Homo-oligomer: A and B are copies of this chain.
Amino acid sequence: MTVVTVQTAARFEMIDITGRVAAVVRTGGIKQGFCTVFVPHTTAAVTINENADPDVPRDILAGLDRLVPLAGGYRHAEGNSAAHIKASLFGASQTVLVEDGALVLGTWQSLFLCEFDGPRTRKVLVKLTGA
């Protein structure tokens, strides 16, 4: 298991971590198998989406904020229930195939850490399985 540390800078943010995860795979010693990326947090998530146009992550964050507004009559005293809901909607992990020692991602796919309650220092756990 490799721990990747990410410093987020805004309340809502999608940070492309593809390069850092790919580096773990490159030095991980497996040729084929799986790479699982997991965030040990409850107000952040990992997702796969497009980063060629930075308007895509911007639209995703804005769309999620419309779906799950910050003020929603929540009971949780910390005031970040919207972030908890978003975390479960996107999910705590993604699993990507590994072939020929590299991540198998589509042309437009990037791996993102999604910050829903920043800025914070976040951890991303990366673990490989295979041979």
Binding site for B on A (CB under 8 A): 1, 32-34, 36, 38-42, 47-50, 53, 55-56, 58-60, 62-64, 66-68, 72-78, 81-82, 84-85, 87-97, 99, 104-109, 123, 125, 127, 129-130
Are the CB atoms of A129 and B127 closer together than 8 Å? no
Partner among B40, B81, B87 whose Cβ is within 8 Å of the Cβ of A105: B40
Alpha-carbon distance between A50 and B123 when the two chains are bound, in angstroms = 17
**How many copies of this chain does one complex carry?**
3
Pick 13 A–B contacts, CB within 8 A, sort by A: A1-B32, A38-B104, A40-B109, A41-B106, A41-B108, A42-B56, A49-B87, A49-B88, A55-B75, A58-B75, A59-B76, A91-B94, A93-B94
Please indicate the chain B residues that have their CB under 8 angstroms from the CB of A1 in the complex. Answer: 32, 97, 99, 104
The 3 closest A-B pairs by CB, nearest first: A40-B106, A59-B81, A55-B75
